[in-house]
Structure formats: C-alpha cells, structure tokens
Amino acid sequence: MIAIYKREVKSCLTSMYGAIAISVMLLIVGYMFRYYNLHSGASSLVYAVFNSNLIFYIVVPVLTMRSFAEERRQKTDQLLLTAPVSPMEIVMGKYLALITVYAIPCLVMCVLPLIISPYGEMSYAVDYVSILIFFLIGCAYLACGMFISSLTDNQIIAAIGSLLFVFLTMILHNTYTLVSANSFPSMVMFVILAVIAGAIVVAMTSNFTAGICTTAVCAAAVFIAYFVKQDWFAGKPEMILKCLDFYSHFESFAYSSFKVADLLYFVSVAVIGIVLTFTSLQRRRWN
C-alpha cells in the first residue's frame, strides 16, 4: 500500500492534475477570505469556508477522474490486480494519496485565522472546526468520485459522473419543497430508485440480466407495497433526499450549531465510497 500511495502522490504532484486542484482551491478560498474577512470585516472564517463550495465542482472531478479510469485505459490495472497486494490496499493507497493532495490547501487554510486574529475577537475553535468539516466533505466526495472512476475506463465519463454527483448532492436541499407528499408521486420516485439500483448492479457486475432482475424485483416490491398500504409512501421521498443531501450537513455548522452527527455523516459516506470501490475492483480482479 505504501508503494502505491507514494506513486500516486508523486503522480499527482508532478502532473497538471494536482497543480490545478491545489491552485483552484487556494484561488477560491483566497477570494472568499478577501471578500468576507478582509473587505467585509468578518472576524470568523466560517462564511469564507462555507461559501467556497464551488471548489468541489472542480477539484473532485480533476483529482478522481484518473484514479482508476486511467489505469483501466492503459491496462496497468492488470499489473496492480496481479501484484502481491490486496484490492483494499490498492484502494486505500490511492484514496490516501487523493486525501494528501487535497489536504495541502486545507493546511494552508489553517493559517488564515492567524492572519486576522490581531484585528478582532475570534474563536479559533469555530474556525478550525469549519476547516475540519470542509476537509471531511472533500474526503467524502473524493471517495465517491474514486468509485465512479472505478466503473469506467474513460476519464471524461468519470469526470462528468463525479461532477453530476457533486451537483446533485449540493442542490438536493433546494428540492424538498418540490417533492409532493402524495402517495403516487412518492411511489414513482421509488420506481426510479429501483431503476437506478439496477443500473448500479449492471455497472458493478457487467451483467445486464442481473440488473434487469434487480430492477424488476425492487419495482414489484414497490407496486405491492403501494397497493397494500399507500399511506406509507407519503413523505418518504423527502426522507431519502435528506439522507443524500450533503449541503444541509455542510451548512448546518455555519448557520446553526456544531453537531457530531455531521462529522459522522461525512465519515460514513467516505467509508461507503471506499467499500464500493473495493467491491468494483474485486469484481474486475475475478473477471
């Protein structure tokens, strides 16, 4: 794992991908810091950090699109899969390398509270916890982007997939009011989720029949539940959307209060992304 980690870190830092990611992060955070703290006179770094979410739309696709997609395109993944390392060590080596590159500008952000401290009263705890949450949401996105990259051998498709994932999880908090509380629209949404589950099975197993069967079984279960107890579906889509809503957990600290549950949420998403990537890599190893 150490060898893979060192190779990936060196590859990122000596290529344009790492340079673009670090430069974009520092540019956006620097602009927000200048606007909210130096220009507007805010004594807390919280608003500058939490209004820098544009970073994820650029950094996540740039860093993750080549993690596995490039290996598959160049066929070097076969060397990794036959090397004396486990698939989990491969995944963790690549993931820790992505986190290392992402952590570099986050460490630079830790200097910002010290710059404004002589000019007003401030809470170091609040500022550094906000940077921690910003770091953790990036870790969660990188894990999910790495999984998306493991499903294809095309970097462009991997980048678009990661971009769409970031976009959807960032706008879900604005869609709650659009979701109807009626049972029928809720049932339709569950059918759509069944189709998505089938698509994921196809991507993970390369077995179209398995995907069709998964969709059919899930959709049949939804229809049966709908005709047996319609009232159960009312309001359920909103509950699901809240589980997938990154931004509400991201902004809760800035506009309400710190919650350990928000930290655990992003850690859990990162773990799920790592497990899914491991499953995808394990499938390719056996194939």
- Reading phi first (left if > 0) and then psi (alpha if -120 to 50, else beta), residue 120 is in left
Q: Which residue type occupies 197?
A: A
Question: 54-64 and 124-149 are packed helices; what angle lies between their axes, rounded to 10 degrees?
Answer: 40
CA–CA dist 174, 167 (Å, integer): 12
pLDDT above 90 covers what percent of the chain? 10
What mean pLDDT is predicted for residues 81-108?
86
**Backbone Cα Rg of the chain:** 21
Instruction: Give 211: exposed, middle or buried? Use CB within 10 Å, 0-12, 13-18, 19+.
Output: buried
The residues near 2 (Cβ < 8 Å, ≥ 6 apart) are 93
Query: Of 32, 33, 276, 46, whose CA–CA distance to 140 is shortest?
Result: 276
Q: Provide the terminal-to-terminal Cα distance of the chain, rounded to the nearest Å.
A: 22
- Alpha carbon of residue 82 to chain centroid: 29
pLDDT of residue 180: 56
CA–CA dist 282, 173 (Å, integer): 34
Select, from the ranges 49-58, 101-110, 163-172, 255-264, the one with the highest average predicted confidence (pLDDT). 101-110
Query: 173-223 pLDDT, tens per residue?
Result: 666 555 555 666 677 777 877 887 777 777 666 677 877 888 888 888 888
pLDDT, averaged across the chain: 80
Establish how many alpha carbons lie within 13 A of residue 202's alpha carbon, considering only the half-sphere containing its beta carbon.
12
